[in-house]
Structure 1
Amino acid sequence: MSFSLLISFFLLIPILLLLRRRRKPSKRVPPGSLGIPIIGQSLDLLRAMRANTAEKWLEERIKNYGPISKLSLFGKPTVMLYGQAANKFVFSGGGNTIVNGQTQSIRMILGDRNLLELSGEDHRRVRSALVSFLRPESLKRYVGKMDEEVIRHLHMHWHGKQEVKVLPLMKTLTFNIICSLLFGLERGEQRDQALDCFQAMMDGIWSVPINMPFTRYNRSLKASARIQTMLKEIVHTKKMELKQKAASDRQDLISCLLGMVDEDDKQVMTEKEIIHNIMLVIVAGHDTSAILLTFIIRILANEPSIYAEVLQEQEEIAKSKLSGEPLTWEDLSKMKYTWRVAMETLRMVPPIFGGFRKAATDTEYDGYLIPKGWQIFWFSAMTHMENSIFPDPSKFDPSRFENQTSTPPYCFIPFGAGARTCPGYEFARIETLVAIHYLVTRFTWKLCSDNFFCRDPMPAPSQGLLVQICPRKLS
């Protein structure tokens, strides 16, 4: 953008403000302010997240305006909803009046044909294709390969070390698992380049969509373009291998999607849809799982009694194995307490702070009008910490999840809810349990840094969670 255009843009702001004041919005639109055009309350929210005060920021809005209010986030007018009824309204589609629709930054970075942008028949078709690979029956065969990736990672990055930064290492681990299991991308220069591009892309996922050279948004768009170019090359290679019968359509996610055809022998997903949804899978399976693993390690360092129970469960499984024998699906089914610890971690520190949907038509909710095309912003942290739902919510208590049916529906939503539940839920469960098994049976650790963390937009402990580690032997 030239300097003259930039000056013109800022000169337009007072005119836009004047025009907006002259409009008379419907009295039924929720209370609140849209703020400065384009920017709105985006910077306030991002600042609060980085200072780890986002929950207080939300509480203040709820105190001032109630559980439904209007604001402007990332360039679009938005309605913020809060509570169990609001979660149900959002995740059940509001009677088909609410559709998928992300912020401009997410849509432009991940692509407009990813699952978070699709609705109706397109959403069902693409979701069904992804679930066919990510369902438990399919993932059972990949437990051994995930086991292999975790052991290799620990040998490379943990053994022989006295201190490690957990979060960067967990991101490396989850990225390698994704590359190996989902894309069939072997270790080497191409995988290393993909990781660098991906980390640059993630910086602008939640950003004000101003495409200028000095912005995060601009840098993320460039990184996204490089990743999509790499993925195109991988897709074309795998397409040729399948055509020549040199590969199986079940060896990884990309091959699986390429091999899917309908009754007319037409490919179920277009190449563009495959690439855009692979981008989404990278984002969904990389940072979220890495953050969950990091915060479980943090919890186990701070809660000796929780650590002791996890260790006992995992040692019993380790003792039942022959030396070098990988974990199996049956072993994972025995890790019930460990997974309850993971669920409680997700309750207290959900990797996804919130998300967006879009009103497909003028929509009524709780006596207010949500105008067609407006964003709807939902967030998970508030119901997770509601005393009426989870008594003594600041206490870490895995027993809350001994009977998950006791939790009211649409209150615990780290993986979404209803028909909008994340299709990668089972993949994340396997990944988490395999990694924690080897970490607790092979190492002990204690924290070297404080417990502060911020969100940008996902939670990240200060110093990447620096820990002092010591190898341990199976007792």
Structure 2
Amino acid sequence: MNFLLTLVLILLPIAFLLVNRKRSSKRLPPGSLGMPLVGQSLSLLWAMRANTAEKWLEERMKKYGPISKLRLFGKPTVFIYGQAANKLVFASDDSIVVNQQAVSMRMILGDRNLLELSGEDHKRVRRAVLSFLKPESLKMYISKMEKEVLRHLKMHWEGKQQILPLMKTLTFNIICSLIFGIEPGAERDQYVQNFQKMIEGMWSVPINIPFTRFNQGLKGSAMVQKLMKELLKEKRLEQKEGAQSQKDLISFLLSIRGEGNGELKSEDEIIHNAMLVMVAGYDTGSVLITFIIRILANNRTVYGAVLNEQDEIAKSKSNGEFLTWEDLSKMNYTWKVALETLRLYPPIFGAFRKAIKDIEYGGYIIPKGWQILWVTAMTHMDNSIFQEPANFDPARFEKQASIPPYCFIPFGGGAHMCPGYDFAKIEILITIHHLVTRFKWKLCGTDNHFIRDPMPVPTEGLPIQISPKELL
């Protein structure tokens, strides 16, 4: 009898666990995790490079519905989309969802950047980075950014050119100047190829064997971190000799290290977050400007309205006078064009979060520890949110309050809103101002195709014929 009672007491909990496990597995979202490690990673990456990623996801939604499971970049993942999904991602507190990117991105950018931190660490580091990137601080850098734009146009903008490589050169130089405080020359040149390797490796299967994108990304990251450690030493010496702490982001972060709630605790936090800002500004800014140039070439009505706005501002400036914050605030239509471009061609395809506990969502369980994938374009191209979403219409943003929350998300949302929003806005407006007031251009091809690698890349880098206005 005692033996039977003991056996029952042992078997009951096991049976309970098995039943609950079976119930729980039934409540997992539909779909397949695929092969270990790889899963659907290669299939998604191929679709991105063929410019069919949104179609790939739409077919998945038709098959499985608004929530499904898969495996991406080595981790079990749940794909969700829509306004409610975006709200879950951006508005949930850290007891539900936390920052965590794909393994490949985390290993390349480091684990102390804003995309990886949560809770008080995220608030502390975000506060520090925003102290430099907020409008009140950036106002003093407008002329410095404009000098980089003018120098770039003088050196490169003539004849037949590929726009995307040109814009990458421009945004790289702006970031080097304002974020790193590195003047033009050999020191800048050491960074650019390694940054490109990092970007190409961030969305890749994390298999570290020679010549894979992940392997090259890790090597690029190691070289950049080495260069940045040397740069930190130089900045410390400059500060000891009385250099201004506000002249660039790295100098600023060094100056506030260890001072209180807004400080950065370690050298790694400075380096990893400077790398994040660099990668974000280098690629997203160049992609956005490139697609704006393409739209202005294809849409004469939009081009005319942008030109009229910018000509009025140019006429109000004395010869050689730099743009001001007040001038930028008058570029309302130009910024609406930029926002509509971001809606149609968001540089960031999507990103990941991590479930910190089992989450009830859409009638299923998102298990604790799983990745959550959100994709930018899934609400941007939803015709229940944006009427005739395939049409280019800057008027959509005349009343941004009319756009439902968590539907237009090129810069994220909530506490995870991109801290570089104002930096990007200033960079775009200054660049477009000088392009349309100084040059005319026409596309050299009719192919509007682009791939994602992982950012959108127009065919052949968008070749155009450029002419200074005074020569036309």
Closer, same or farther: CA 474–147 of 1 in aligned 2, 3 Å: farther
SS of 1:139's partner is helix
**Kept in 2: contact 1:441–1:474 (CA 8 A):** no
Corresponding residue of 1:216: 213
How many angstroms apart in 1 are the aligned matches of 2:470 and 2:67? 54
**Superposed, which structure 2 residues align to 1:337-348 within 5 Å?**
337-348=333-344
Corresponding residue of 2:163: 166
Which of 300, 304, 318 is equivalent to 2:296? 300
Output one character per residue of 1:302-352: Cα deviation in whole Å (capped at 9) or x when no partner. 100000000000000011111111111111000000000000000000000
How many angstroms apart in 2 are the aligned matches of 1:108 and 1:349? 27
Corresponding residue of 1:356: 352
How many angstroms apart in 2 are the aligned matches of 1:264 and 1:400? 43
**Superposed, which structure 2 residues align to 1:21-420 within 5 Å?**
26-93=25-92, 96-158=95-157, 161-245=158-242, 247-261=243-257, 268-420=264-416
**Cα deviation, residue 415, structure 1:** 0.1
**Kept in 1: contact 2:128–2:263 (CA 8 A):** no
Corresponding residue of 1:7: none
**Kept in 2: contact 1:442–1:474 (CA 8 A):** no
How many angstroms apart in 2 are the aligned matches of 1:300 and 1:177? 23
Output one character per residue of 1:237-265: Cα deviation in whole Å (capped at 9) or x when no partner. 111221332x1111110111111155569
How many angstroms apart in 1 are the aligned matches of 2:66 and 2:264? 41
The aligned amino acid for 1:417 is G
**Cα deviation, residue 474, structure 1:** 11
Percent identical pairs in the alignment equals 65
Output one character per residue of 1:6-49: Cα deviation in whole Å (capped at 9) or x when no partner. xxxxxxxxxxxxxxxx9996111111000011110001101111
**Is 2:441 the partner of 1:445?**
yes
**Cα deviation, residue 269, structure 1:** 3.1
Corresponding residue of 2:5: none
TM-score, structure 1 as length reference:
0.93
Which blocks of at least 5 consecutive residues in structure 2 are unaligned? 1-20
Corresponding residue of 2:13: none
Output one character per residue of 1:89-134: Cα deviation in whole Å (capped at 9) or x when no partner. 0001267310000011000000011110000000000000000000
SS of 1:204's partner is helix
The aligned amino acid for 1:331 is D
> Structure 1 stretches (4+) deviating beyond 4 angstroms?
22-25, 261-267
How many angstroms apart in 1 are the aligned matches of 2:247 and 2:186? 21
Which blocks of at least 5 consecutive residues in structure 1 are unaligned? 1-21
The aligned amino acid for 1:145 is K
Figure out how many residues of one structure are paired with residues of the other and give that number: 451
SS of 1:203's partner is helix
How many angstroms apart in 2 are the aligned matches of 1:409 and 1:339? 19
Closer, same or farther: CA 265–370 of 1 in aligned 2, 3 Å: closer
Corresponding residue of 2:14: none
Closer, same or farther: CA 274–263 of 1 in aligned 2, 3 Å: closer
* 264-273 vs 216-225, which moves further: 264-273
TM-score, structure 2 as length reference:
0.93
SS of 1:445's partner is strand
Closer, same or farther: CA 181–95 of 1 in aligned 2, 3 Å: closer
The aligned amino acid for 2:249 is L
The aligned amino acid for 1:133 is F
Corresponding residue of 2:6: none
Corresponding residue of 2:454: 457
Closer, same or farther: CA 315–214 of 1 in aligned 2, 3 Å: same
Closer, same or farther: CA 219–268 of 1 in aligned 2, 3 Å: closer
SS of 1:409's partner is coil
**Kept in 1: contact 2:161–2:464 (CA 8 A):** yes
